[in-house]
Amino acid sequence: MRDDPTLDSDDTEADLNSGDDIHALFHGAPKSTEFRKLRKRLVQQVREATETFGMIRPGDKWLVCLSGGKDSYTLLAILHELQWRGLLPVELLACNLDQGQPGFPATVLPEFLTKMGVPHRIEYQDTYSIVVDKVPQGRTYCALCSRLRRGNLYRIAREEGCTSVVLGHHRDDMLETFFMNLFHGGRLATMPPKLVNEDGDLTVLRPLALVAEADCEKFARAMNYPVIPCDLCGSQDGLQRMQVKAILDEWEKRSPGRRNVMFKALMNVRPSHLVDPKLFPFAELWPEMAPSEKADRDNSNNIPQLR
């Protein structure tokens, strides 16, 4: 691993063009110009996110959560590349939580991580049975499943001495969440790139916040990572998120680049041009008055004394 944290974008480009794999996670990486550009873009976007949102605290230990999907493989690889370059001075521990979904290939991730030489922890907790028991038939499992998963990941992070739980949500996940809240929740909110948990002892980070889902898919496919499908629980069809995703896909098809513009809007909020009185003091908003006008108004409020 390099120990020079002062590498600039030119250094990054030179290294990416050198053809060195630098880490087992990049063994067999395509040598095409297209892949090199993709890899460079991912590195730069993750680095930008970590700097923009203040994610890095030297000496911390990150629990990098892996589902086995394309996004988590991309997250793992890019974080290790940044660590190798000296741009991510933290310790990385990969973690997969096997929640007992039927058909989950339990050996895929342990074998992959061992082969890649990535420090990791595999945890088995049968939360699937709990979800099936608690959720009424015909309802989706996602909400309860995610709460149980989050609780277990927080516990594992504490047991391993980690300071942060790192998730693989990307730009498109954050946009979809925004529109789900808009359409169904009656609020303007999304997944923040960085937050502190309710107990105040762990930071939750999303370093892929600026990365497009399509780039994660291209990267994982080009690297031939053993991607595990995300629909094992059978709870995905007809989800509100899938409906929102279809809407965004149609918008992107009609106007390429629309997703990127919408995400930039999330980073360019003007509270005074929304309508939340808790966010902006509308009641206190008045034009500035000339001193003489202000004096006249103050005097007009004085009650005359009776003789």
Domain boundaries, the chain: 9-273
Reply yes or no on whether the pLDDT at 178 is more than 50. yes
Are the C-beta atoms of 51 and 82 separated by less than 8 Å? no
- Structural fold of domain 9-273: Rossmann fold (3.40.50)
Q: How many CA atoms lie within 13 A of 189 on its CB side?
A: 6
Residue, of 270 and 125, whose pLDDT is higher: 270
Alpha helices in the chain (DSSP H): 9-16, 33-52, 70-84, 108-116, 127-134, 142-159, 171-180, 213-223, 240-254, 258-266, 291-300
pLDDT, tens only, 203-251: 999 999 999 999 999 999 999 999 998 765 555 544 788 889 999 999 9
Among the listed ranges 29-38, 239-248, 254-263, which one has the minimum average pLDDT value? 239-248
User: Which residue would you say has higher pLDDT here, 164 or 136?
Assistant: 164
What is the Cα 295 distance to its own chain's centre?
A: 54
Instruction: Please check the confidence at residue 113 and state whether its pLDDT lies above 50.
Output: yes
Q: Give the span between the Cα atoms of 76 and 64, in whole angstroms.
A: 7
Among 137-146, 157-166, 203-212, 242-251, the minimum mean pLDDT is found in 137-146
Q: How do 91-98 and 61-65 pair as beta strands?
A: parallel
Residue 284: pLDDT above 50?
yes
Q: Please state the separation of Cα 147 from the chain's center in Å.
A: 16
Task: Confirm if 244 and 180 have CB atoms less than 8 A apart.
Answer: yes
What residues have CB less than 8 Å from 130, skipping those under 6 apart?
Answer: 144, 148
Torsion of CA 119, 124, 127, 128, to 10 degrees: 100
How confident is the model at residue 2, as a pLDDT? 42
pTM summary value: 0.84
pLDDT at 4 over 80: no
Strands 164-166 and 203-205: parallel
What are phi and psi for residue 62, nearest 5 degrees?
Answer: -105, 130
Query: What does the pLDDT read at residue 302?
Result: 59
What average pLDDT is seen over the chain? 87
Angle (CA) 190 196 197, round 5° = 90
Q: Write out pLDDT tens, residues 44-78.
A: 999 999 999 999 999 999 999 999 999 999 999 99
